């Protein structure tokens, strides 16, 4: 994957000269689920995330950590906190509850061989694909509630794990 480094991301300028928003990095992804236990179990047992501390919010949920960072927040679909600035239906009753869909969440990983063994042990189906031009290997797995996860491994890692 090619990375572009800006001199100072907080003052990045668009082509038209206006300043862009000061986004620095992705903080977390929130997954709304109909089965909290199944979702948390999948993400801890299969993906290796750790269920950790969560502030005393008004709704139930879990924060799942990797390397000390809460990268996935899990919310109960029946008791969800307000996370939208406006009603997604825009007053149209036929669109009530309509939301955008995130297709998948991707993690850069190491330990290709060990990961594939673990996925097989858990009976998790996979779809693999190589990224043209980079040699990276994408391993797609489907989690609960039709949320897909992409596990990305370097070509060197895959070669060492074969």
Structural domain contains residue 71: yes
Structural domain contains residue 11: no
How far is 48 from 159, CA to CA, in rounded Å? 22
pLDDT at 33: 87
Structural domain contains residue 151: yes
Q: Do 107 and 160 have their domain in common?
A: yes
pLDDT (tens digit, 0 to 9) for every residue of the chain, 162 residues total?
Answer: 444 454 554 445 556 666 667 777 788 998 888 899 999 999 999 999 999 999 888 888 999 999 999 999 998 888 766 665 555 555 555 555 545 567 789 899 999 999 999 999 999 999 999 988 888 999 999 988 888 899 999 999 999 875
Structural domain contains residue 97: no
Of 136, 134, 132, give the one whose Cα is nearest residue 151.
136
Structural domain contains residue 4: no
Question: What CA–CA distances, in Å, run from 29 to 70, 155, 156?
Answer: 9, 27, 28
pLDDT at 63: 94
Write out the residue range of the structural domain in which residue 137 sits: 103-162
pTM, 2 dp: 0.70
Structural domain contains residue 155: yes
pLDDT at 2: 44
What's 35's domain CATH number? 3.10.180.10
Q: Taken in order 51, 100, 134, 2, is the CA torsion positive or negative?
A: negative
pLDDT at 147: 86
pLDDT at 161: 72
- Total count of domains within the chain: 2
Structural domain contains residue 157: yes
pLDDT at 94: 56
Structural domain contains residue 69: yes
């Amino acid at each position: 994957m090619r990375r572009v480094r800006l001199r100072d991301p907080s003052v990045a300028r668009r082509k038209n000269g206006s300043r862009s928003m000061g986004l620095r990095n992705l903080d977390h992804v929130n997954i709304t689920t109909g089965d909290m236990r199944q979702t948390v179990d999948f993400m801890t047992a299969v993906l290796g995330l750790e269920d950790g501390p969560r502030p005393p919010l008004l709704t139930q949920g879990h924060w799942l950590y990797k390397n000390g960072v809460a990268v996935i927040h899990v919310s109960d679909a029946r008791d969800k906190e307000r996370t939208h600035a406006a009603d997604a239906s825009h007053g149209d009753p036929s669109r009530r509850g309509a939301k955008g869909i995130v297709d998948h969440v991707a993690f850069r990983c190491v330990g290709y061989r060990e990961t594939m063994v673990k996925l097989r042990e858990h009976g998790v189906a996979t779809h693999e694909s190589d990224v043209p031009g980079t040699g990276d290997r994408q391993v797609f797995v489907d989690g609960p509630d039709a949320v897909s996860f992409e596990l990305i491994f370097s070509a060197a890692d895959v070669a060492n794990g074969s």
